[in-house]
Chains A and B, each alone.
Chain A
Amino acid sequence: MDVDIKGKMTFRGGAHPPQNKKLTKDKPILPGPAVKQVAVMLSQHIGAPCKSMVQKNDIVAAGQRIGESDAYVSAAVHSPVNGKVKEIALRSHPVHGRSMAIVIDVDAETNAPEKPDLISSENVDLDRYSSEQICDVVSQAGLVGMGGAGFPTRVKIEPNPRLPKKVLIINGCECEPYITCDYRLMIERADQVITGIELAKKASGCERVFIGIEDNKPKAIEAMADMLKKTPARQNIKIVPLKTKYPQGGERQLIKAVLGKDIPTGAIPPMVGVVVLNVATASAITEAVISNKPLTHRVVTVTGQSIANPGNFYVPIGTSVGDMIEFCGGVTQKSAKVVMGGPMMGIAIADLETPITKTSGAITLLTKEQIGRAKYKSHKTACIHCGRCLDVCPEHLNPTVLAHAVRKNLFDVAQQYYISACMECGCCSYVCPANIELTGHIKTGKIYLARENKRMPK
Chain B
Amino acid sequence: MLKKITVSCSPHISKHMSTRSIMIDVIIALAPAMLAACYYFRNRAVIILATCIVSALVTEWGCNRLQKKPNSLGDFSAVVTAIILALSLPPAIPFWVAIIGSVFAIAIGKMVFGGLGANVFNPAMVARAFLTASFGAMMTTFSVPAPIDLAMPKISAVNTTVVTQATPLAWSKQAVKKQNDISVVNEQLKATITGNVGGCLGETSTIALLIGGLYLLIRKTINYLIPFSVIASAVLFALIFYWIDPQIYMLPVMHLTTGGMLMCAFFIATDPVTAPLTNRGKAIFGVGIGAMIMLIRNVGEYPEGVMYAILLMNALSPLIDRLCKRVPQGGKPNA
Residue of A nearest to B15 (CB): A431
Task: Give A240-296 interface residues, CB cut-off 8 Å to B.
Answer: 252, 256, 262-267
Residue of A nearest to B70 (CB): A381
Check if A252 sits within 8 Å of B117, measured CB to CB.
Answer: no
Check if A12 sits within 8 Å of B11, measured CB to CB.
Answer: no
Check if A325 sits within 8 Å of B7, measured CB to CB.
Answer: no
Residues of B contacting A36 in the complex (Cβ-Cβ under 8 angstroms): none
Binding stretch for chain A, among B94-102, B126-134, B151-159, B275-283 = B275-283
Check if A395 sits within 8 Å of B328, measured CB to CB.
Answer: yes
- Contact residue among A387, A432, A443 (Cβ-Cβ distance under 8 Å from B278): A387
Check if A348 sits within 8 Å of B6, measured CB to CB.
Answer: yes
| A430 interfacial contact with B, CB 8 Å | yes
Task: Give B98-126 interface residues, CB cut-off 8 Å to A.
Answer: 115-118
Residues of B contacting A344 in the complex (Cβ-Cβ under 8 angstroms): 10-13
| B273 interfacial contact with A, CB 8 Å | yes
Interface size on A, residues (CB 8 A): 76
Residue of B nearest to A261 (CB): B330
Check if A350 sits within 8 Å of B277, measured CB to CB.
Answer: no
CA distance A334 to B118 in the complex (A): 39
- Contact residue among B1, B12, B332 (Cβ-Cβ distance under 8 Å from A371): B12
Residues of B contacting A334 in the complex (Cβ-Cβ under 8 angstroms): 1
CA distance A151 to B116 in the complex (A): 44
Known contacts: A333-B1, A338-B5, A381-B75. The answer to whether A433 contacts B117 by CB under 8 A is no
| B183 interfacial contact with A, CB 8 Å | no
Tell me how far the C-beta of B79 lies from the nearest C-beta in chain A, rounded to whole angstroms: 15
Residues of B contacting A341 in the complex (Cβ-Cβ under 8 angstroms): 10
Residues of B contacting A397 in the complex (Cβ-Cβ under 8 angstroms): 326, 328
Check if A348 sits within 8 Å of B12, measured CB to CB.
Answer: yes
Residues of B contacting A387 in the complex (Cβ-Cβ under 8 angstroms): 223, 272, 277-279, 282
Check if A262 sits within 8 Å of B329, measured CB to CB.
Answer: yes
Residues of A contacting B117 in the complex (Cβ-Cβ under 8 angstroms): 382-385, 434
Residue picked from A12, A256, A390, most chain B C-beta under 10 Å: A390
| B66 interfacial contact with A, CB 8 Å | no
CA distance A238 to B241 in the complex (A): 58
| B177 interfacial contact with A, CB 8 Å | no
Check if B75 sits within 8 Å of A375, measured CB to CB.
Answer: no
Check if A343 sits within 8 Å of B12, measured CB to CB.
Answer: yes
CA distance A262 to B333 in the complex (A): 12
Check if A348 sits within 8 Å of B7, measured CB to CB.
Answer: yes
| A347 interfacial contact with B, CB 8 Å | yes
Looking at chain B, what size class is its interface with the partner chain? Answer: 35 or more
Residues of A contacting B325 in the complex (Cβ-Cβ under 8 angstroms): 398, 417
Check if B2 sits within 8 Å of A335, measured CB to CB.
Answer: yes
Residues of B contacting A375 in the complex (Cβ-Cβ under 8 angstroms): 12-14
Tell me how far the C-beta of A80 lies from the nearest C-beta in chain B, rounded to whole angstroms: 25
| A345 interfacial contact with B, CB 8 Å | yes
Residue of B nearest to A379 (CB): B18
Tell me how far the C-beta of B268 lies from the nearest C-beta in chain A, rounded to whole angstroms: 15
Check if B2 sits within 8 Å of A265, measured CB to CB.
Answer: no
Task: Give B41-66 interface residues, CB cut-off 8 Å to A.
Answer: none
Residues of B contacting A262 in the complex (Cβ-Cβ under 8 angstroms): 329-331
- Contact residue among A330, A333, A343 (Cβ-Cβ distance under 8 Å from B11): A343
| A429 interfacial contact with B, CB 8 Å | yes
Known contacts: A264-B333, A333-B1. The answer to whether A396 contacts B327 by CB under 8 A is yes
Check if A266 sits within 8 Å of B8, measured CB to CB.
Answer: no
Residue of B nearest to A264 (CB): B330
Check if A338 sits within 8 Å of B2, measured CB to CB.
Answer: yes
CA distance A331 to B5 in the complex (A): 13
Residues of B contacting A390 in the complex (Cβ-Cβ under 8 angstroms): 277-279, 326
CA distance A431 to B16 in the complex (A): 8
Check if B6 sits within 8 Å of A337, measured CB to CB.
Answer: yes
Residue of A nearest to B117 (CB): A382
Known contacts: A264-B330, A264-B331, A397-B328. The answer to whether A385 contacts B273 by CB under 8 A is yes
Residue of A nearest to B11 (CB): A426
Residue picked from A264, A349, A352, most chain B C-beta under 10 Å: A264
Q: Mark A384-409, 1 if CB is under 8 A from B, else 0.
A: 11110011001111101100000000
Residue picked from B15, B18, B277, B282, most chain A C-beta under 10 Å: B15
Residues of B contacting A347 in the complex (Cβ-Cβ under 8 angstroms): 10
- Contact residue among A17, A421, A443 (Cβ-Cβ distance under 8 Å from B9): A443
Check if A429 sits within 8 Å of B14, measured CB to CB.
Answer: yes
CA distance A155 to B128 in the complex (A): 65
CA distance A355 to B118 in the complex (A): 45
Tell me how far the C-beta of A426 lies from the nearest C-beta in chain B, rounded to whole angstroms: 3
| A366 interfacial contact with B, CB 8 Å | yes
- Contact residue among B2, B6, B17, B118 (Cβ-Cβ distance under 8 Å from A376): B6
Residues of A contacting B335 in the complex (Cβ-Cβ under 8 angstroms): 266
| A99 interfacial contact with B, CB 8 Å | no
Residue picked from B223, B329, B335, most chain A C-beta under 10 Å: B329
Q: A337-B12, A345-B10, A384-B272 are in contact. List 9 more A-B contacts (CB 8 A).
A: A265-B331, A266-B330, A267-B330, A335-B5, A348-B6, A398-B278, A431-B15, A434-B18, A443-B9
- Pairs of residues from A and B, 8 with the lowest C-beta to C-beta distance, nearest first: A426-B11, A382-B117, A265-B330, A440-B9, A266-B333, A386-B272, A265-B333, A396-B329
Selected A-B contacts with CB under 8 Å, 26 pairs: A11-B329, A256-B329, A262-B329, A265-B329, A331-B2, A343-B13, A344-B13, A348-B6, A348-B7, A348-B10, A370-B13, A372-B13, A384-B116, A385-B272, A385-B277, A387-B272, A387-B278, A396-B328, A398-B277, A426-B10, A431-B15, A431-B17, A433-B17, A433-B19, A435-B18, A439-B11
